[in-house]
Chain A
Amino acid sequence: MVIGAELVFGSKMLEGYIPLALQDPDPFKLFNKHKDMVVLNDKPWNIEAQAHLLDDKITPNSCMFIRNNGLVPEGIDAKAWTLTIDGESVKNQKTYTLEELKSKFNHHTYQLTLECGGNGRAEFNPPAKGNQWTVGAVHCASWTGVRLRDVLEDAGIKSNAVYIGFHAVDKHLSMDPKKEPISRGCPMSKALQDETILAFKMNGKAIPLIHGYPLRLVAGGWPASVSGKWVNRISIRNKVHDGTKMTGTAYRVPCKPVAPGEKVKDEDMCIIESMPVKSLITYPKTGAIISKSKSLNIRGHAWAGELEVAKMEYSIDFGSTWNTCTIEKPANRLAWQHFSARVDFPKSGYYEVWARATDTNGLAQPMLLPGWNPKGYLNNACHRIAVKVK
């Protein structure tokens, strides 16, 4: 085709249709993302936010990170969509249409914090393999759906049930139909929580395709990889689910602490469950120059996996002294909490504002990198922004 040529009969094409030959698309338009989002990978698509993009209390689609292990499914028909509950520990294998799920079970809406297990990987030393997420692989959107518990109980759960594992329709990068890009899950105790839902809405609208349309498992507070997108089957297992990315080193950390760079055998790696306490300064954007006569109002969010954040502090002297921030209660369990503080600087110069959250068990964020692990998970080191006072 000629450079800049108009597509013959282009105007007769269906709206939203992307011709195969032109699939070198602009991801920002394709996924309706903010221009400041950062593309880490384009096959598969992996895109992260920056701290200042996450300033909203409820994250809009435009600023939600995208994490994919495989290829985004095409041609989804929600009317024909079904969810099957099967597995060794289901009493009666059952299949529901999307409409049946919506009409048969009560709807619930929760704000749920989803953070990629590898958020912050870029800082590990020696470096860890994978997408080099910095700070932006976290969001807290509002999800509406039915409780996974209600659906599992409708099918019937045998007393020997241990774990659930999801299956979805995304394709493996190698296009091998026998391979699943990802099939993770969680123990029954997490599966049966009130807030673990099969969602069909995000922020009040149908879930965008890239975030799992038409049905997504959402399990807040755990690595976001538990929250399977495009889910069409959930297996109730009589053992720990052994799907793709459940075994080996994926989403696992050493059961016992190891020295940086140490080799760890697969059998000495343990599955990540709740994410650790963490926080993010979302205002102002790093690099603010202010005048000495003015105080700086900072704000952001803090979260603590299964727990709540009990205390929020900031420091402008690299941790010599800490000052308290105001921290709000979460909108519901597993939602991130909003903090704010008024910061005064004693004299002009270069400062860093560091933020530190402490959870209800008394665990605080480290200022340095936490324990090194081979895959670079769970970096919950304090976030900081640079500020100059004139």
Chain B
Amino acid sequence: MAEEFNFKSEVKKLYSLLLFLFTLFVVGGGGLIYYVNNPDVFDFESKTETIAVAPIEEDEDRIENGIHVRTGLIDAEGLMTVVNNCTNCHSAKIVTQNRMNTERWNATIKWMQETQNLWDLGGNQEIIVNYLVANYPPKAMGRRMELTDIKWYELED
């Protein structure tokens, strides 16, 4: 019995030791991780400066409301061919701002190839131009448009 009692108490001691070491590990390790991430935690004179990090999209090519979120381009046939060939040097914003017919989109591509180091698009050119003409065609504006999108407000003196 005495032997058994001894054995039980040894196990208990060992258990307590392990529990202590584990607690030390969790608290100490956690604290260390916190300190690495917040090196100013003991620096009571300076404020911790948080630098905003742009959240990284889970799917960088996701579409919302028919728009390719990353570029602002309309989701339609040929979208990714346009993204992959037309947004390396410049932003897609210069595409979405413009309105041209087939001839002028082709002329624009030719100009970029002649002066801006754009590569030969091969069979992709037709896909790209078809996409652009379908989604960004010219619209008639006449000699002067009416004022639109007026945000009315009460003018205070």
The one of B89, B116, B138 that contacts A126, using a Cβ cutoff of 8 Å: B138
A41 within 8 A of B: yes
Q: Is B108 a contact of A386 with CB atoms below 8 Å?
A: no
Q: How many residues of chain B are within 8 Å of chain A by beta carbon? A: 43
Residue in B closest to A15 when the chains form the complex, CB atoms: B49
Q: Is B48 a contact of A368 with CB atoms below 8 Å?
A: no
Where chain B touches its partner, the secondary structure class is loop
Where chain A touches its partner, the secondary structure class is loop
Q: Is A41 a contact of B97 with CB atoms below 8 Å?
A: yes
How far, in angstroms, from A79 to B115 measured CA to CA in the complex?
Answer: 34
Q: Is A368 a contact of B143 with CB atoms below 8 Å?
A: yes
CB distance from A342 to the nearest CB of B (A): 13
The one of A127, A381, A384 that contacts B147, using a Cβ cutoff of 8 Å: A384
Q: Is B53 a contact of A294 with CB atoms below 8 Å?
A: no
A-B contact count (CB 8 A): 108
Q: Is A41 a contact of B54 with CB atoms below 8 Å?
A: no
A174 in contact with B141 given A11-B49, A287-B152 (CB within 8 Å): no
Q: Is B90 a contact of A44 with CB atoms below 8 Å?
A: yes
Q: Is B141 a contact of A40 with CB atoms below 8 Å?
A: no
How far, in angstroms, from A8 to B34 measured CA to CA in the complex?
Answer: 10
Query: Which of A129-137, A204-212, A327-335 participates in binding chain B?
Result: A129-137
Residue in B closest to A283 when the chains form the complex, CB atoms: B155
A352 within 8 A of B: yes
How far, in angstroms, from A8 to B37 measured CA to CA in the complex?
Answer: 5
Q: Is B147 a contact of A386 with CB atoms below 8 Å?
A: yes
A286 within 8 A of B: yes
Q: Is A289 a contact of B37 with CB atoms below 8 Å?
A: no
In the complex, chain A residues 114-132 whose Cβ is within 8 Å of any chain B Cβ:
123-127, 129-132
A284 in contact with B141 given A174-B89, A384-B147 (CB within 8 Å): no
Within 8 Å CB of B122, what residues of A? none
CB distance from B42 to the nearest CB of A (A): 13
Within 8 Å CB of A162, what residues of B? none
Residue in A closest to B144 when the chains form the complex, CB atoms: A368
How far, in angstroms, from A300 to B136 measured CA to CA in the complex?
Answer: 35
A30 within 8 A of B: no
Q: Is B56 a contact of A369 with CB atoms below 8 Å?
A: no
Give 10 closest A-B pairs by Cβ, nearest first: A43-B91, A174-B117, A288-B155, A125-B141, A173-B89, A10-B51, A368-B143, A11-B49, A132-B97, A3-B55
28 residue pairs A–B, Cβ–Cβ below 8 Å: A3-B55, A4-B53, A6-B51, A42-B93, A43-B91, A44-B91, A123-B144, A123-B145, A125-B141, A125-B142, A125-B143, A126-B138, A127-B138, A127-B139, A129-B104, A129-B108, A173-B89, A173-B116, A179-B117, A285-B153, A287-B152, A288-B155, A289-B153, A289-B154, A294-B157, A369-B143, A384-B147, A386-B150
